């Protein structure tokens, strides 16, 4: 197994220029089209957050662990948006590039990776919103923020694994992406993005630890706003689950890869 993944890593290194060029294509195609360009990646989440925080904080009065609700929300919502956009655009990426897939050989997972890289770039821009709020509300940051890269890595492993699966399924059945969008919407409500886990009685909270996204979202909150290390036990479970999903997704993708050109 390690042999295969090692081989694939070498292959990716060989194709790094293609990976970068495809990611660059994804990024620039969006920003060249509209006058507002880069501003959209900031305006979109900003408006989304204002609306959500009006509904959940002002009307429903959801508690937010002693920080302004909008900050409580954005720490979780921005990574969640990255997860959703990566997954839903990966689902369509093979079909959208069918003209390449049927003509030229290259490792197909590059298309999925390039999409995700483009979404990470969007994510980084959208984080400006969070930084802005942190400054406005004068929230101080602790050294525990050093955990963020690790949490992000786990999120990426999980995202890539699921994206590979979604991309493959959608190639065979074109409407999987609509089913996926529905699932993602439900998934968001099952993940403590807009509310704290504490809203649920203690004895039911274990269900959150079965959902890697909820562990990840909680960990971000803990290290950015809570000022302490994340819950390492649930984070390890999330890591193991993410790795498992990645391995399954990767093998599934590679197994079906030879058939892509015949079905797309």
Partner 1 sequence: MNTIIAFENVSKTYNLQKQKTFKEFLPALVTRKETKTKLVALSQINFELEKGSSLAIMGRNGSGKSTILKLVAGVTKPNDGRVTVNGRVAPLIELGAGFHPELTGRENVYLNGSILGIKRKQMDKLYKGIVEFAELSDFMDEPIKHYSSGMYMRLAFAVAVAETPDILLVDEILAVGDTKFQQKCLARIKDFKKFGSTIIMVSHSFEQMRQNCQQGLVLTEGKKVFLGEINKALGAYQKLLD
Task: Based on the shown chain and the rule CB under 8 A, indicate whether residue 172 belongs to the binding site for partner 1.
Answer: yes
Scan residues 79-118 and list those touching partner 1 (CB under 8 A): 99-106
Q: For partner 1, which is the closer residue by CB, 28 or 58?
A: 28
Task: Based on the shown chain and the rule CB under 8 A, indicate whether residue 32 belongs to the binding site for partner 1.
Answer: yes
> Which range binds partner 1 by CB under 8 A, 38-46, 151-159, 172-180, 187-195?
172-180
Task: Based on the shown chain and the rule CB under 8 A, indicate whether residue 173 belongs to the binding site for partner 1.
Answer: yes
Task: Based on the shown chain and the rule CB under 8 A, indicate whether residue 202 belongs to the binding site for partner 1.
Answer: no
Task: Based on the shown chain and the rule CB under 8 A, indicate whether residue 34 belongs to the binding site for partner 1.
Answer: no
Task: Based on the shown chain and the rule CB under 8 A, indicate whether residue 258 belongs to the binding site for partner 1.
Answer: yes
Task: Based on the shown chain and the rule CB under 8 A, indicate whether residue 18 belongs to the binding site for partner 1.
Answer: yes
Task: Based on the shown chain and the rule CB under 8 A, indicate whether residue 13 belongs to the binding site for partner 1.
Answer: no
* Residues binding partner 1: number (CB under 8 A): 28
In order, the DSSP letters of the chain are -HHHHHHHHHHHHHTHHHHHHHHHHHHHHHHHHSSSTTHHHHHHHHHHHHHHHIIIIIIS----TTS-HHHHHHHHHHHHHHHHHHHHHHHHHHHHTHHHHTT--S-THHHHHHHHHHHHHHHHHHHHHHHHHHHHTTPPP-GGGGGHHHHHHHHHHHHHHHHHHHHHHHHHSTTHHHHHHHHHHHHHHHTTTSS-GGGS-GGGTHHHHT-HHHHHHHHHHIIIII-S---HHHHHHHHHHHHHHHHHHHHHHHHHGGGHHHH-
Q: For partner 1, which is the closer residue by CB, 101 or 239?
A: 101
Least Å from the CB of residue 258 to partner 1: 5
**Contacts with partner 1, residue ranges (CB under 8 A):** 17-18, 21-22, 24-25, 28-29, 32-33, 99-106, 172-176, 179, 258, 261-263
């Amino acid at each position: 197994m390690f042999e295969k993944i090692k081989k694939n890593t070498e292959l990716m290194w060989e194709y790094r220029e293609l990976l970068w060029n495809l990611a660059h294509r994804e990024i620039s195609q969006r920003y060249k089209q509209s006058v507002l360009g880069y501003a959209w990646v900031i305006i979109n989440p900003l408006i989304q957050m204002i609306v959500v925080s009006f509904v959940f904080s002002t009307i429903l009065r959801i508690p937010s662990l002693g920080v302004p609700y909008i900050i409580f929300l954005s720490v979780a919502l921005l990574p969640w948006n990255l997860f959703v956009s990566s997954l839903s655009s990966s689902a369509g990426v093979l079909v959208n590039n069918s003209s390449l897939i049927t003509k030229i050989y290259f490792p197909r997972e590059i298309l999925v990776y390039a999409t995700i890289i483009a979404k990470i770039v969007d994510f980084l821009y959208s984080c400006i919103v969070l930084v802005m709020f942190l400054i406005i509300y004068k929230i101080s940051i602790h050294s525990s923020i050093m955990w963020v890269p690790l949490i992000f890595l786990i999120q990426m492993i999980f995202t890539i694994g699921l994206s590979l699966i979604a991309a493959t399924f959608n190639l065979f059945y074109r409407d999987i992406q609509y089913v996926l969008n529905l699932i993602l919407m439900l998934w968001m409500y099952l993940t403590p993005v807009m509310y704290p886990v504490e809203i649920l009685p203690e004895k039911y909270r274990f269900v959150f630890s079965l959902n890697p996204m909820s562990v990840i979202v909680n960990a971000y909150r803990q290290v950015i706003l809570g000022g302490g290390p994340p819950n390492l036990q649930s984070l390890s479970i999330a890591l193991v689950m993410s790795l498992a999903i990645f391995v399954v997704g990767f093998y599934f993708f590679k197994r079906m890869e030879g058939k892509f050109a015949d079905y797309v």
